[in-house]
Amino acid sequence: MTRKIKIILVGSLATLLLAFIYWQPQIKPVNEAAKTMSDADYYFETVSLKQFNQKGQLASELTAEKMEHFNSSDSSRFISPKIRFLSEQNSAWQITSKIGELNHQASELVLEDNAVIRQVDVENQLNNSNQLKTHKLTIDLARKHAMTDSKVTIETESSQTQAIGMQADFDKETIQLLGQVETRGISNDSQK
């Protein structure tokens, strides 16, 4: 081979090598949002699920900022879920939390991280002065029941009640505290 051909060949290989290096896909560090992405089969944002009774009236509603579905466990995860149950007496209950896990087989929704139950009046206004708080709450969506074995705190304008464990029937509008119930009054002077 002549010297001219060798120079052209080496120059061409060098150009190809540089072009290959230049156009290689860049591996970028994973940002925090990508690290928290799940292995969900699919997801929805700004979710609203409504269930109607046999008369065609709204019986319950579940809304959330985001829902992720996992086919492998037949479950869904909700971010900032809010559930409304309408009772047979036309009053409503609202339950909120930061996270919710729905087991589709058992029709159970487990709310975690600041689960709060409030009653909603006839004008659809929240009664913020009366609320029940717990860390973890299991809701049977089919029966409109809720239960927990965790610590429960009920706050009203004039008292605070703490207990361990609770069962609620939203249709019958009953809440039963299960154990270690302790109530203390709050004077109106301390609220000012």
Report the length, in residues, of the chain. 192
Token pair belonging to 29: 């560090």
- Residue 3 placed within a domain: no
- Residue 110 placed within a domain: yes
> For strand 58-70 and strand 108-120, is the pairing parallel, antiparallel, or unpaired?
unpaired
CB atoms under 10 Å from CB of 29, counted, come to 5
Residues in the chain predicted with pLDDT less than 50, given as ranges, are: 27, 30-36, 190-192
Number of domains in the chain: 1
116, 131, 177 from 112: Cα distances, Å: 10, 16, 19
- Residue 133 placed within a domain: yes
- Residue 107 placed within a domain: yes
**Residue 55, pLDDT score:** 83
Q: Angle at Cα 15 formed by Cα 12 and Cα 18, nearest 5°?
A: 150
- Residue 23 placed within a domain: no
pTM score > 0.75 for this model?
no
Provide the residue range defining the domain that includes 152. 29-191
Chain-centroid distance of CA 86 in Å reads: 20
- Residue 169 placed within a domain: yes
- Residue 10 placed within a domain: no
DSSP H or E segment with residue 128: strand 126-140
Q: Residue 154 forms beta bridges with which residues?
A: 132, 161
- Residue 6 placed within a domain: no
Token pair belonging to 81: 């879920």
Q: Give the CATH number for residue 151.
A: 2.60.450.10
pLDDT tens readout for residues 71-124: 888 888 999 999 988 876 667 888 999 999 988 787 889 999 899 988 876 555
Residue ranges of alpha helices (H) inside the chain are 3-22, 32-35
**Residue 99, pLDDT score:** 93
- Closest CA relative to residue 132, chosen from 172, 165, 86, 88: 165
